[in-house]
Structure 1
């Protein structure tokens, strides 16, 4: 009897409104709470996890996201988590598949049955700062094919976008250091949105270097710029040489572990920005941690900028802190 009552209480997907007063999503920032039956998970997990569970050195190996499975009877406990995914097939007859099928609207079933859609997601569905997702196909073969061809990438993008949106709200929802932002912009023609407790730690106007930071754990954002940009080669080697120079002059002879440097490009408001993630250390002190350095040319100010985010948090998980600093860096602006 309890089983049927529980199924009835499970909200119908996309049909029922959750109301305006939603709780704040809870749980881990990076754990994707996953409801899927054992057989289907065994069939798809290798391909799905390889497209989502990316690793980062901090210096320990941390995952940007990871899957954490739960059972149907624990659904209400995890429904308001920050990241939730339900995975099933329409032809599934096991208890987990039937549990998920019971929550589906007729419209959603028709979209899946016709092959129109397989992946569904909604932000803030049951809780604020939540990403709630559904992977549903006619059968497991169709589901695996979708994951391999495009679904893995689409899934990661939805999860990552939800994570970034949630972290942005967390950083700025109470207040921010607007006076600091305005003062930096008025003096130098660029600035950032600084969350509460960030301060200007050092200013070297002769060498165009600013250092911002906050404590517990120690987070530093160093900014360097020079005029122009087209007459120099701005590549990965140049960026690492510049970081070495900055660390030797501003950060007590800190060095970079070149073998751990990873290069990528990101997009800030339609502008492509270069990024290096890696590890820093100190030659004589027990200091070290991850960094994420952005470098780019800005046509508005006709300058080349380096924004270097560094974290020192011994004994703590560091990936989320580092990504929060990357969010702050992405608020860079040269016009109000």
Structure 2
């Protein structure tokens, strides 16, 4: 993947009740500053979920529900990869050694419980950490609760995953790249060393990381455009066409006439989301290089910048042939989610 020389920069009566009771909303408010830890650093591998559950339940309906929810394949990957890797631990073995794990699901399933209960706590024994406890009188009710709240649970666990990556990025900042993004778009982004500004254009920046010992490309594209009509600017066909326009212009392949584009045979998967407290449309699909042999997954966010009312396009993509893509995609998504917009200026009150 070469850089165009013109742009090179130098240096759901029970189910309803359960859903109503337990469905949770998540607002991911991420700071771009390094916070001083007050508890030990969380442990555990990337995307690893520690499940505290007795053997009988894990081998039955409850364990099947856990697998269906947390090991469901990530959408729009050519090769299936689970959202989380599961590690099961019996309750009697859940001692202090394991309590610092970053993602913990505690399934307290016992007929001594007269009713179900749910708690979600952050930074209980370490940080950043997310601990979700579900008390249920039987496996069936546990599974019902878990499936009713699957998306919210996943979002909570992902929030601390992104926080971990952002904290790590803030410890090794690329100050020059951060300053470029701030000057051009007016917001902060936690860009670490290893990523660099590869291309600058008119209201456009390509943040890039390349592999040293492997064939690897991680990229984040940022573009700011005039915001005219929400019915048009957030239309799915507009989002897809806009992405293709930007990548054709700024992300060429190695050969003449080659450029990045989306797969026309595979329409993106769209969702309306809460992006750090702001409305956004998310798109996921696969990209390919026209007239070249490259491709991989991408995630795209379209939103309105709160401080200047301009349309903001944030796009992350990965090229890692022969390698799992999940953890690389988490890195680029964390980079995107590290954005911190300036606080809105208070408007003066008109005198009577």
The aligned counterpart of 2:194 is 197
Distance (whole Å) between structure 2 residues aligned to residue 311 and residue 154 of structure 1 = 26
The aligned counterpart of 2:131 is 132
Q: Which portions of structure 1, spanning 4 or more consecutive aligned residues, are displaced by more than 6 angstroms?
A: none
Confirm whether residue 180 of structure 1 aligns to residue 198 of structure 2: no
Larger radius of gyration: 1
Which of 36, 45, 61 is the matching residue for 2:53? 36
Shift of 1:61: 1.5
Helix, strand or coil at the partner of 2:232: coil
Contact 2:181/2:205, CA 8 A, preserved across alignment: no
Distance (whole Å) between structure 2 residues aligned to residue 273 and residue 310 of structure 1 = 18
Contact 1:79/1:126, CA 8 A, preserved across alignment: yes
The aligned counterpart of 2:332 is 325
Contact 1:263/1:275, CA 8 A, preserved across alignment: yes
Helix, strand or coil at the partner of 1:55: coil
TM-score (structure 2 length as normaliser): 0.71
Residues 294 and 156 from structure 1, CA distance in 2 versus in 1: closer, same or farther, beyond 3 angstroms?
A: closer
Structure 2: state its 5+ residue gaps: 1-36, 253-258, 344-352
Residues 331 and 73 from structure 1, CA distance in 2 versus in 1: closer, same or farther, beyond 3 angstroms?
A: closer
RMSD: 3.0
1:276-320 deviations in whole A, cap 9, x for unaligned? 111112244332211111112335323222221111222332222
The structure whose RCO (Cα within 8 Å, separation 6+) is larger is 2
The aligned counterpart of 1:51 is 69
Contact 2:51/2:87, CA 8 A, preserved across alignment: yes
The aligned counterpart of 1:96 is none
1:147-166 deviations in whole A, cap 9, x for unaligned? 35x45455334323332333
Shift of 1:187: 4.2
State the number of aligned residues: 292
Contact 1:178/1:193, CA 8 A, preserved across alignment: no
1:80-99 deviations in whole A, cap 9, x for unaligned? 3322333232338xxxxxxx
Further displaced range: 137-146 or 320-329: 137-146
Residues 257 and 187 from structure 1, CA distance in 2 versus in 1: closer, same or farther, beyond 3 angstroms?
A: closer
Confirm whether residue 302 of structure 1 aligns to residue 309 of structure 2: yes
TM-score (structure 1 length as normaliser): 0.74
Which of 208, 211, 215 is the matching residue for 2:210? 215
Structure 1: state its 5+ residue gaps: 1-19, 93-112
Which of 100, 103, 122 is the matching residue for 1:83? 103
Distance (whole Å) between structure 2 residues aligned to residue 236 and residue 255 of structure 1 = 16
Shift of 1:241: 1.0
Residues 230 and 289 from structure 1, CA distance in 2 versus in 1: closer, same or farther, beyond 3 angstroms?
A: same
Helix, strand or coil at the partner of 1:164: helix
The aligned counterpart of 1:279 is 286
